[in-house]
Chains A and B, each alone.
Chain A
Amino acid sequence: MLKGIRLNDMKNMSISNEIVDMSEPSNVFVPLINDNILCECITKKGRKVRKGTIIGIRKDIDFPILSPVSGTVLGIKKCLYLNDKIIDCVEIANDRLERVIKKQIVKDITSYTKEEFIDILKKCSISGMSGSDFPTYLKYECKLNTLIVNAVESEPYITSDSMLVKLKAEIILECIDAIMKINGIKKCFIAFKENNIIVKNSFLKYLDKYDNIILFPVKDVYPIGYEKYLIKLISNLDYDKKTEEVGIVMNNVTTIFAIYKALKFKRNITKRIITISGEGFTEPINVLVKIGTSMSSVIKKIGKYNGENLKIIANGPMMGNALRSDSVIATANLNGIVIIEDVNDKVMNCINCGKCLEVCPAKICPVFIMKNINDIEKLKKFKPEKCIECGLCSYICPSKIGLRDAVKSAKKKVMNK
C-alpha cells in the first residue's frame, strides 16, 4: 500500500481569498494541442467565430478544438504552453458578446443515452482538466460500474478544485448523478483529503439526495491523488494500463463540471479557475479566466513578484514544469501557477542512504537506475517504465540529486528500444 510523504501543502495562502473574475480578455490564444499531440488548424485569418466553433482538429481521433470566445480570428501565433514549449495557437480577438452557435438548455440532463453522452463529450471537446488533457469520452467507451471523482488536489499551493467545489458543489453532485444514471454506474466515490474541510462541508450540504454517492476521505500524503493508488485504496483493485479494465472511470472534479456544461448547454467549457500562488507572489489568489488568456496580463493586474531568483511553475511544484516566462496560455488543463524562490541546493555525491527506494510509490529503484543509466540491458531489469514521475525521489534525496530526471530518461531509453 502507498506510504507517501506528507508535504507542506501551503493551500491556506490562496484558499481564504475571494475568487477574482478576470474573464474578459481582449485576445485569446487557443493552443492547437491535445494530450501532447499537435492538432491541425481548420480556420482562417479574418473568419468570424462563436463560442463552440471548431477551430482545430486532432486528426487521429477527430477530436475538435473549440473557440472559447466569440470574435474574429487574427491568425496563428506562437505562444508558451504549460509544458514550457512554444506551440502554434489560434489568436482570436474577443468581441465580448459571448455569442454561441445555438442557444439551448436541456431540462433533464439524465435523459441522454450512453451513445449520445459519449458523442456530446467528444463534440464539446471535454478533456481531463487536472493536467493530463486526455479526451474524457475515451474513458466512457466500455461497461463501467464505479465512478471515482478526484478532488484530492495532491499538489501543494493549488486550490482551484477546492474553490470550484466551494462554489458549485450542488451542480457537481447533480452532474455525477446524471453520469451514473446514463452509464448505469452503481457507485460513486468522491475522494478528497481528510483535512480539506471546505470540500467536505460543501458536498455534505447537498449529499442527502444522493444515496449512491459516497464521500471518501484520504490521508494527506503525496501522491495519493494518483489514479492507480486512489483506485487501489478505494476498491482494492490493480490494473495494468487503463482503469477501464476494472470497470472504473475516474474524473477530476473540474472535469465533472465541464461535463455538466456539456450536458446542460451542449457547449464547451470556456472559463476555468486557476490558482496563482507561492511565496514569490504578493497576492496569492484564485482567478476565473477565459481559456486562452495569456497569464502575464492577469498576473500583472493582480499583484507583484516578490524577490529575486524566482521560478514560475505551471500546475504545481511537484509534477509541474518551470516556465521561461509568465506569458503562458491558460488552457483547460492548467490548474495553477506557482511562483516560488529558487532554492539553489548544492548537489552532493550519492551516499546510498536508500531513501529514494523507501519512498518510491511505484516500487522502482531510482538510485540504481541513475547509476546504470548507460547500460540498457540492466535498465530493463529495473523497469523504469513503471515510474509515474511523481518526483518524490528527487524531493527526498538528501544529496539533492535529480533522480526523477534520470528515471525519466531511462524510461525513454527503455521504451524506445
Chain B
Amino acid sequence: MKFKIENGPHIKGQDSTSKIMMRLLIALMPIVCYAIFKNTILVYFATKATIIEALHPVFMILTGVLTSLISEILYIKFILKNTNTLTFKELSKSFAFIPGLFLALVLPVNTPLWLVAIGAISASIIGKMIFGGFGQNIFNPALVGYLLISSSYSVLIGNYFNLYELDTIASATPLTNLSDLSYYGTYEMVVGNYGTLFNFLSGTIPGALGEVSKILIIFAFIYLVITKTIKWKIPVLYVSTVFFMTYIIGSVAGLDMWYPVFHILSGGLLFGAVFMATDPVTSPTTSNGQILYGISLGIMTVIFRFLTSYPEGVMTSILLMNLFVPVFDKIGLKMRNNKDKNNISYILIFLLISLVVILISNNILTAKNNVNQEEVNKVKIISIEKINNKTKYVLQSKGWDEIKAEVEVIDKEIKSIIITDNSGETQWNEIEKANYIYKLIANQNNIDDLDAISGSTKTSEGLKNIVKKVKMEEK
C-alpha cells in the first residue's frame, strides 16, 4: 500500500474561495433581477419603448460579463503565451467575469454598450491582469473601469433615468439635486420629488443599475455576514461614519433624522459599502485595519459629497482608499502586536472627522441662511402707513396658501399682529392653541430660535417670515 506524504493539517475546512465567490453571486442575484425588472419589464409595459430599447440593461450586463471574460482569456492566451489547457486552468481559478458584472451594476442605465465594453476591458486588463491576475490587484478592477470611462467619457456615460422615469420624474438624481441646493433643503425639497424615503429603500428612484434597491442590498449584506463571506466591519463602519457625520451636519442646520437617512439611502453608498469596499483582495486583512479603512471611506465619501463637485463620491473614495490598504494593514499589525498603540490613529481619525464636520457645517449654515433669506424676500408688502412713531404694515406671506396680516410697529418694536386672511391654512387651530401669534411678538428679536408648530410647519414658517420681513424693513 502506498501512502501520500504531505504536510498537515490533514483535514481542511469546508469553505473555499470558489464557494465564497459563489455566495457573492447568490447575494447579487436578487439585485440583478430587480434591476432587470425595474429597467426592462416595467419600462416595456409602462412606456412605448421597443423591446430592444427596454432590454438595454440586460445587454449591458451581458456585455460587461462577456467582455471581461473574453479579454481575460485573450490576455492569458496571447500576452502571457499559455497553451489552451493552461489557459483553461488559469481561468478556472480567476473568476474572470466578476469585474464586468460589477461594472455593469454601477453604471447608469443608459450607458452605451460600446462604453460598457471599453470599461470591462480596462477593468479586466488594467485593473486586474497587469497586476498579476486574481488576488494580486491593488485596485478594485470594476472601479478602475468605472473611473476610466466616467472620467474620459463623462458626457457619453448616459443619464440615470430609464424611459419610464424620464416620463414621470423630470429632474436630476437625488444627490445631484441636493448638490444643486448647496446641500441644504427641507424634506420636500430634497426627498419630495422622488416620493418618500420609503421609495429610496425599495428602489423606485432613479440611479445606477444595481444600486437602487437598498432593501435587497441590506438582505444581501445579512446573508453575506451570516455565511462569513465578507469582512462585515468595513460596511458597518463605513455606513455608520457617513450616518454619524451627516447626522451632526444635519442637526447643525436644524434638519431632522431624515437627512442622514437620506444620505445613506442615496446613490451607491450601500452597494459600494457591501460589495465594493469588502472586495477581499483590495481591502485590509487585519481587523483594526478594516475598522480604520471603513471609517476613512466614510470620511472620504462625506468630503466628496459635500466639498467637491462630485455629488456621488462612493466609488472614487473606495478607489482612493484601495491605495492606502497597505498603510491600514501596517497600523493594524502594529496594534495586533502591541495593544498600547491603539489610541493614536483613532484619535487622529476622530480629529479628522471633527474637522470635516466643522468645515461642512459652516458651509451648510451659509446655505441655510441663503434659503431663509429667499423665503423672507418672497413676503410681499402691500402697504406701509406711517403716523408719528407708529408704522402699520399690510403684508402677504406664503404658508400653505396666502396669509395676509396687519402689523403695527412702535419704535421698531412689533406691538401687534392681526391676521386678516387665514382661509388657506387648514391647521390654523393648532396655531391658535399654541398662542403662536403672541409668541411671535415675544420672540421677535430672536425669531430664528422659535420652533415651528408641528403639524402646521408651513403656516408657522409663513408667520415667522412676516416678522422677519418687518424687522428687515425697520432696519
Contact = CB atoms under 8 A, between A and B. Distances in A.
B22 to A, nearest CB: 11
Main secondary structure of the interface of B (DSSP, over half): loop
Contacts of A312: 3
A352 interface: yes
B285 A368 contact: yes
Interface residues of A, number: 55
B8 A321 contact: yes
B475 interface: no
Interface string A383-417: 10000000110111111101011000000000000
Nearest to A382: B333
B13 to A, nearest CB: 5
A400 B16 contact: yes
Contact of B135 (A319, A323, A346, A349): A349
A396 B228 CA distance: 12
A309 B226 CA distance: 35
A264 B135 CA distance: 61
Contacts of A365: 285-286, 333, 336
A320 B19 CA distance: 28
Contacts of A318: 8-11
Contacts of B136: 349
B133 interface: yes
Interface in B375-405: none
A5 B9 CA distance: 14
A326 interface: yes
Contact of A342 (B6, B231, B282, B336): B6
Interface in B89-136: 93, 133-136
B134 A381 contact: no
Interface string A311-331: 111000111111111100000
B17 interface: yes
B241 interface: no
Contacts, number: 137
Nearest to B6: A322
Interface stretch (A31-39, A251-259, A353-361): A353-361
Interface residues of B, number: 37
> Chain A's interface: helix, strand, loop or mixed, by majority?
loop
A311 B10 contact: yes
Contacts of B281: 351-352
A382 to B, nearest CB: 8
Interface string B3-25: 11111111111011111100000
B424 interface: no
B285 A352 contact: yes
Given A346-B93, A395-B11, A354 B286 contact: yes
B455 interface: no
Given A317-B9, A395-B11, A398-B16, A349 B3 contact: no
Q: In the A-B complex, list the 9 residue pairs whose CB atoms are closest, starting with the nearest.
A: A349-B135, A391-B9, A317-B10, A354-B285, A351-B280, A342-B4, A317-B11, A398-B17, A353-B280
Given A322-B5, A349-B135, A358-B287, 19 more contacts: A8-B11, A312-B3, A318-B11, A322-B6, A323-B3, A348-B17, A348-B18, A348-B135, A349-B136, A351-B20, A351-B134, A352-B282, A353-B231, A354-B284, A365-B336, A398-B15, A398-B17, A400-B12, A404-B7
21 contacts: A317-B9, A322-B3, A322-B8, A322-B10, A326-B1, A343-B12, A349-B135, A352-B282, A352-B285, A354-B284, A365-B285, A365-B333, A383-B337, A391-B9, A394-B8, A395-B13, A397-B12, A397-B13, A398-B15, A404-B7, A404-B9
